[in-house]
Structure 1
Amino acid sequence: MQADSQKPEKLTAHLASAGREPFRRSVALRSVLLFLPQAVIGGAILYLLFDLQADGVLSVVRANQESTVAEVAQRTLAELSEADADLLYLASRPALRHWLETRDPAGRAALEADLRVFAAARAGYEQIRLLDATGQETLRIDWHAGAPAVVPPAGLRDRSGRPYVQEMLTHAPGTIHVSPFDLNVEDGEIEPGPKPVVRFGTALADDRGELLGMIVLNLMGSRLLDGVAAMAGPGPGAVWMLNSDGYWLRGPSPDVEWGFLYPARSEQRFGRRFPRAWSAIQADPAGGQLRTEAGLFTYVTIRPEGDLPADGVAATLRAELPAWILVGFLPAHALEAQRDEQAMEFVPAAAALALLSATLSFGIARASVQRQQADQRMRSSELRFRALLESAPDAVVITDPSGRIVLVNAQTERLFGHAREQLVGQDVEILVPVALRSRHVGHRRAYLEAPRVREMGAGQDLNGLRADGTTFPVSISLSPVQTDDGLLVVADIRDVGDRLQAERQIQDLNQRLRRDNAELEAVNRELEAFSYSVSHDLRAPLRAIDGFSQALVEDYGEQLDDEGRHYLSRVRQGAQRMGRLIDDLLKLSRVTRQELAIADVDLAVLAQEVVDRLRSEAPDREVEVAIDGPLFARGDQRLLQIALDNLLGNAWKFTSGQDRAWIRFDLRDAGGEPAFCIADNGAGFDMVYADQLFRAFQRLHTPSEFPGTGIGLATVQRIIHKHGGRIWAESEAGRGARFFFTLQRPPAAGA
Structure 2
Amino acid sequence: MRILELLKNMTLRSRIVIPMIALSVLPATGIAIFTIVNMQTSMRSAAIEREVVDTSMRTRKLEEFLKAVETDLRFLSKGRLLNDLAEARRTGQHERVGLLRRQVEQELILFSQGKRSFYQLRYIDTDGLEVVRLDVEEGRAKVVPVSRLQNKSGRYYVQESLQLSPDQLYTSPMDLNMEGGRVEVPFRPVLRFGLPLFGESGERTGCLILNLNATNIFELIEPLRVGTEAFFVDATGNYLGYVGPEEDKRERYSLGSERGLADNFSTTESSRILGPGIQDLYLETPDAVISVETVSVATDDSANQWRLIVAHSIDEFGAPIRRLTIYLSVIIALVLALVAWIGVLVTNNLARPVAELRDAMSRIAANRGAIKRVASPGPANEIDGLSREFQMMAERLEQTQDRLQGLQSELADAGKSASMGQLSSGLLQDLSDPLVAIKNKIQATEPGETAGTIALIRSLLADVERMEEVLQLFSHQTQAPRPEVISLASIVKSVVALVGAEVRHRGLQIEVDADAGVPPIKGDFTQLRQLLINLILNAADAQPESEHIIIKITAMMSDDHVEPVAVGAMVKVIDDGQGIATESLIKIWEPFYTTKQDRVGLGLAICRRIVEEHGGRIEVSSQISHGTTVTVSFPIASTEADPSA
Q: TM-score scaled by structure 2?
A: 0.46
Q: TM-score under structure 1 normalisation?
A: 0.40
